Amino acid sequence: MIKITLKDGSIKEVESGISVLELAKQISEGLARVATSAEVDGELVDLRYVLEKDSQVNILTFDNELGKKAYWHTTTHIMAQAVKRLFPNTKLGIGPAIENGFYYDFKVEEPFSQEDLNKIEEEMKKIIKEDELIQRYSLPRNEAIQFEKEQNEDYKIELIEELPENEEISFYKQGEYTDLCAGPHLMSTGKIKAIKILSTSAAYWKGNQENDTMQRIYGISFPKASQLDEYLQMIEEAKKRDHKKLGKELELFMIAPEGPGFPFFLPKGMVLRNTLEDFWRKKHVENGYKEIKTPIMLNEELWHRSGHWDHYKENMYTTNIDETDFALKPMNCPGGMLVYKSKMHSYKDLPLRMGELGLVHRHEKSGELNGLFRVRCFTQDDAHIFCLQEQIESEIVNLIHLINEVYSMFGFTYTVELSTRPEDSMGSDEVWSMAEGALKKALETEKIEYKINEGDGAFYGPKIDFHIKDCLGREWQCGTIQLDFQMPERFDLSYIGEDGEKHRPVMLHRVIFGSIERFIGILIEHFAGAFPTWLAPVQVKILPITDAHLEYANYVKAELAKQRIRVEIDDRNEKTGYKIREAQLQKIPYMLIVGDKELQEKSVGVRSRQEGDIGQIGVDEFIDKILEEIRNYSK
């Protein structure tokens, strides 16, 4: 007998040689029906995996992110099998599960048409109905290569040749279809229930533009048809909220062919941006930050000192000035180091909190650019906090409170991840252990649930990532808190302690918006362009019924403008109903209709975007109402 420790801490004694699926059946037949895969001693495995020793086992379902991956990975093999049935000469690339669904890359003579995609989807449904048993087996490296040669799968051979020479190569077989794969997969094709092919696009083999062009097919699958319907409805709603589409319609920003990845902000977009930055500054002043500005270009020596030249050079734009290499900054941190070093500090100065809205440049591949979400220049709302070691926990707690306050203002909820030491890192094991422990302690002190994201920390330190959730349930990684013992060492930062000696400060990096540009894109989609009144580029549109009311409309505009309310007049010779519809399309929070009655009574007819027709009220009363809404940052 062996002892199995389950996720809830309970221990179950079972016979050695039992499979994970059989274990799941012993726990509950219902669990066995919905299980997709499992974690055994931290390793992701199939349900067919055999347990032979005492182990920790976590049985996964579709409700778990890793469980979803196994479900979607199985579906991508079903899609590849369908493609090979319909188009036998197609060569297979790779087919991973991704954040939302899966894709598979194929080498084809002609791109897939919509008709082809429809046929592939129908063939996938046939394969699911066939309920083929999925079997896993391994081959020695030379036999695996020989098998792929017989299948004429050049890309698979390339993948095998990149694996260690002594490694057994695993395959998964379902019916006539066999694919090179590490797994895990479901037990049979019939376990997949609801599927949909979503789109197709061109993609470079392994993401390298010097390699062959493949045809990529994206898809999604769910255990229930109702889940698929909900997802497809969400996709349709997301299309309506597309920030690129709304950004153009609402005249917020543009991307010109002369500057791919370099956004232009238009007048209304600048109002939105400046309002967001003013809000940022207000919150930071309230929390004891001093604002700085550092240059966007600094010399190569600085980037060697910071470690970016060795760890990030391929993403940096460089040039030569006066026979010296310079780089546009990809991050604000090294400039913040130089500001700290510009004067001697005492322990009494710490914590020192310095914030910067700093423009950074990073080289992104053209195929990855996406509106404001993926650009080549953006403004990070950075802050660098220099503190004593005993101040670390309280500073992290303060940051968590600030981040929570800001996100709540926009109606965002969020989840938290702790990202640990990556392979490409600087510093000793002891320092990394200390840094990771400090972040964990702060999160646990605040009773915040978090997930460990192994190996995804920055090269100079671990980090806490905040993933905000928008109104459609989509997650966006925005805020981050990074604890850094490395940069202060590399830049020889110091402060004078109580003992009169020099000591090394600890440094915290953090962003809340992450990127101003990306955050604006998220806000556009979250609010569908209908921003809260305090954030709206135009807060009030005045609609005079005829030209005879234009003078009074200008008077009302002047009264509102005195209070710094953002207001415009629609003085076009159009019917009032038409003007109202136009203002609604522009997502204006308030429309003020002025005619004979309003002129006589020095009032306005108020129509709210949220409440509809409010009725006639005095100008001063309306000003008080909207100012209160703006002051309170009402959502």
Q: Does residue 593 contact residue 565 with C-beta atoms inside 8 Å?
A: no
Choosing from 509, 518, 526, 549, which is the catalytic residue?
509
Question: Domain for residue 314, yes or no?
Answer: no
Query: Residue 104 CB: number of other CB atoms within 10 A?
Result: 24
Q: Which of 46, 105, 179, 382 is catalytic?
A: 382
141: Cβ–Cβ under 8 A, 6 or more apart, which residues?
Answer: 160, 163, 165, 166, 167, 168, 169
Return the HEC string of 311-344. Answer: HCHHHCCEEEECCEEEEECCCCHHHHHHHHHCCC
pTM, to two decimals: 0.82
Q: What is the largest CA-CA distance in the chain?
A: 93
Helix (H) or strand (E) segment spanning residue 74: helix 65-86
Looking at the fold, whether 37 and 128 belong to one and the same domain comes out as no
Among 308, 329, 463, 541, which one carries the catalytic annotation?
A: 463
The answer to the question of residue 362 being in a domain is yes
CATH of the domain at 582: 3.40.50.800
State the CATH number of the domain containing residue 280. Answer: 3.30.930.10
Q: What is the pLDDT of residues 585-594, one digit of tens each?
A: 999 999 999 9
* Last residue of one domain, picked from the residues 473, 501, 526: 526
**Tokens 């005619």 belong to residue:** 595
DSSP 508-549: EEEESSS-HHHHHHHHHHHTTT---TTT-S--EEEEESSGGG
Q: Residue 425's pLDDT is what?
A: 77
Residues 6+ apart with CB under 8 A from 327: 297, 298, 299, 300, 303, 308, 309, 316, 317, 318, 319
Strand partners, 6: 57
Cβ atoms of 18 and 29 closer than 8 Å: no
Structural domain range at position 48: 2-61
CATH at residue 36: 3.10.20.30
488 and 567 share one domain? no
User: What is the CA angle 309-464-273, rounded to 5?
Assistant: 80
Catalytic residue among 85, 362, 557, 566: 362
Q: Please answer whether residues 276 and 312 qualify as being in contact, where contact means their C-beta atoms are separated by less than 8 angstroms.
A: no
Q: Which contacts qualify for 90-93: CB closer than 8 Å, 24 or more apart?
A: 91/152, 91/153, 91/154, 91/155, 92/153, 92/155, 92/156, 92/179, 93/155, 93/205, 93/214
Domain-located, residue 244? no
Do 413 and 493 belong to one domain? yes
> Which residue among the candidates 77, 116, 241, 333 is catalytic per the annotation?
333
**The two structure tokens encoding residue 559:** 């009264």
Same domain, 492 and 575: no
Same domain, 193 and 274: no
Q: With respect to residue 411, please indicate whether it lies within any of the assigned structural domains.
A: yes
SS3 percent helix, strand, coil of the chain, rounded to 5, is 40, 30, 30
Do 23 and 8 lie in one domain? The reply is yes
| Pairing mode of beta strands 413-419, 451-453 | parallel
Domains identified in the chain, total number: 4
Cis peptide before 184 (omega within 30 of 0): yes
Taking the CA atoms of 327, 332, 337 and 340 in sequence, report the sign of the dihedral they define: positive
* Secondary structure (DSSP) of 160-207: HHTS-TTPPEEEEEETTEEEE------SBGGG--EEEEEEEEEEEGGG
Return the pLDDT at 531: 96
284 tagged catalytic: no
Which of these, 154, 267, 140, 246, lies nearest to 527 by C-alpha position? 246
Cis peptide before 351 (omega within 30 of 0): yes
478 among known catalytic residues: no
382 is catalytic: yes
324 occurs within a structural domain: no
Examine the domain organization and report whether 433 and 571 are in the same domain: no
Query: Which of 15, 45, 61 is the C-terminal boundary of a domain?
Result: 61
Catalytic residue among 81, 380, 391, 586: 380
602 is catalytic: no
Domain boundary among 15, 32, 61: 61
Q: Which tokens go with 19?
A: 């499979």
What's the token pair of residue 152?
């004429």
Of residues 189, 161, 191, 164, the one with CA closest to residue 177:
189
Q: Are residues 343 and 427 in the same domain?
A: yes
Are 336 and 288 part of one and the same domain? yes
Annotation says 374 is catalytic: no
Same domain, 377 and 452: yes
Q: Distance (Å, rounded) from C-alpha 540 to C-alpha 588?
A: 6
The Cα–Cα gap between 317 and 261 comes to 14
Asked whether residue 315 is domain-assigned, the answer is no
Residues 547 and 467 in one domain: no
Could you say which of 374, 384, 518, 549 is catalytic? 384
Say what the pLDDT of residue 568 is. Answer: 96
Domain membership of residue 532 (yes or no) is no
Kindly state the helix (H) or strand (E) to which residue 298 belongs, with its residue range: strand 297-299
Same domain, 179 and 265: no
Residues 6+ apart with CB under 8 A from 411: 471, 526, 635
CATH number of residue 183's parent domain: 3.30.980.10
pLDDT under 70 in the chain at which residues?
A: none
What span, in angstroms and rounded, lies between the C-alpha atoms of 468 and 476?
Answer: 5
Q: Is residue 437 part of a domain?
A: yes
Given a contact cutoff of 8 angstroms between Cβ atoms, the answer to whether 408 and 635 are in contact is no
